Amino acid sequence: MKIHKSISLLILSAVMLMGAVQVSPFTTQFSLVGENRSELSISMSIGEIEHFIVESKAGNFAGLAVPGYHSSMEVGMPQLPMMNSIIQVPIGADLQFDIISAKYEEFSLSELGIDLPLMPVQPSLSKSQNAADVDFVINQQAYQTNAYYAPHEGKIIDLGIMRHVRLARLEIAPVQYNPVSGKIRVMSAAELKVSFPNADFSADDNMRSRYYSPHFANILNNRTLNDRAGEGPEPLLRKPVKYVIVTPQNYLATMQPFIDWKEQMGYDVIVATTESLGNNTAIKNYLHGLYNSATPSDPAPTFVLLVGDHEQLPAFSGSTGGHITDLPFVAVTSGDYLPDMHIGRFSARTVAELEPQVEKTLYYEQYQISDPSYLNEVTLIAGYDYSHTNSHGVPTVKYGQENYFNSMNGFSQVNEFIGAGNSSAIVQT
CA distance 136 to 120: 9
Amino acid at the residue 158: D
**pLDDT at 189 > cutoff 80:** yes
For residue 2, what pLDDT is reported? 33
Residues 184 and 79 grouped into a single domain: yes
Higher pLDDT, 412 or 282: 282
Confirm whether 7 is domain-assigned. no
| Number of domains within the chain | 3
Confirm whether 380 is domain-assigned. yes
The CA–CA distances, whole Å, from 61 to 15, 117, 190, 217 equal 10, 5, 29, 43
Q: What percent of the chain has pLDDT over 70?
A: 88
Question: Which residues partner with 43 through β-bridges?
Answer: 31, 191
Confirm whether 11 is domain-assigned. no
Q: Which of 347, 365, 383 is the last residue of a domain?
A: 365
Longest CA span, the chain: 74
**pLDDT at 101 > cutoff 90:** yes
**pLDDT at 208 > cutoff 80:** yes
Helix axes 252-264, 351-365, angle to 10 degrees: 20
Q: How many CB atoms lie within 10 A of CB 144?
A: 9
Confirm whether 134 is domain-assigned. yes
Residues 213 and 258 grouped into a single domain: no
Residue 210 and residue 236 in contact, taking contact as beta carbons nearer than 8 Å? no
Residues 134 and 189 grouped into a single domain: yes
Mean pLDDT rounded to a whole number for the chain: 88
| Full residue range of the structural domain in which residue 258 is found | 242-365
Element (H, E) at 6: helix 5-14
Residues 267 and 391 grouped into a single domain: no
Q: Which of 365, 387, 417 is the last residue of a domain?
A: 365
**C-alpha closest to that of 287 among 335, 353, 242:** 242
Q: Residues 66-92: what's their mean pLDDT?
A: 96
For residue 7, what pLDDT is reported? 31
Q: Phi and psi for 360 in degrees, rounded to 5? A: -70, -35
For residue 422, what pLDDT is reported? 42
For residue 421, what pLDDT is reported? 44
Residues 67 and 133 grouped into a single domain: yes
Q: What percent of the chain has pLDDT over 90?
A: 67
Confirm whether 10 is domain-assigned. no
Which pLDDT band, with edges at 50, 70 and 90, does 1 fall under?
Answer: very low
For residue 385, what pLDDT is reported? 64
- Supply the CATH number for residue 137's domain: 2.60.40.3800
Q: Mean pLDDT lowest for which of 129-138, 303-312, 321-330, 357-366?
A: 129-138
For residue 15, what pLDDT is reported? 55
Confirm whether 229 is domain-assigned. no
For residue 231, what pLDDT is reported? 57
Q: Residues 274-292: what's their mean pLDDT?
A: 97
- Supply the CATH number for residue 260's domain: 3.40.50.10390
DSSP E strand boundaries for 298-351: 303-307, 316-317, 324-325, 342-346
Confirm whether 183 is domain-assigned. yes
Residues 280 and 386 grouped into a single domain: no
Residues 306 and 385 grouped into a single domain: no
Residues 355 and 413 grouped into a single domain: no
Which pLDDT band, with edges at 50, 70 and 90, does 163 fall under?
Answer: very high
Element (H, E) at 41: strand 39-45
Element (H, E) at 242: strand 242-247
Residues 182 and 87 grouped into a single domain: yes
Q: Which of 333, 365, 397 is the last residue of a domain?
A: 365
Q: Residues 214-221: what's their mean pLDDT?
A: 88
For residue 425, what pLDDT is reported? 47
| Bridge pairing between strands 59-65 and 48-56 | antiparallel
CA distance 113 to 57: 23
Compute the C-alpha angle 132/133/135, nearest 5°.
95
For residue 390, what pLDDT is reported? 72
Confirm whether 59 is domain-assigned. yes
Q: Residues 320-332: what's their mean pLDDT?
A: 89
Q: Residues 330-335: what's their mean pLDDT?
A: 92
For residue 273, what pLDDT is reported? 98
Q: Mean pLDDT lowest for which of 28-37, 140-149, 216-225, 279-288?
A: 216-225
For residue 383, what pLDDT is reported? 66
Q: Phi and psi for 49 in degrees, rounded to 5? A: -120, 130
For residue 392, what pLDDT is reported? 74
H-type alpha helices, 77-200: 140-143
Residues 387 and 247 grouped into a single domain: no
Record the pTM.
0.82
Residues 66 and 171 grouped into a single domain: yes
For residue 388, what pLDDT is reported? 67
CA dihedral in degrees (127, 129, 135, 139; nearest 10)?
-20
Residues 39 and 180 grouped into a single domain: yes
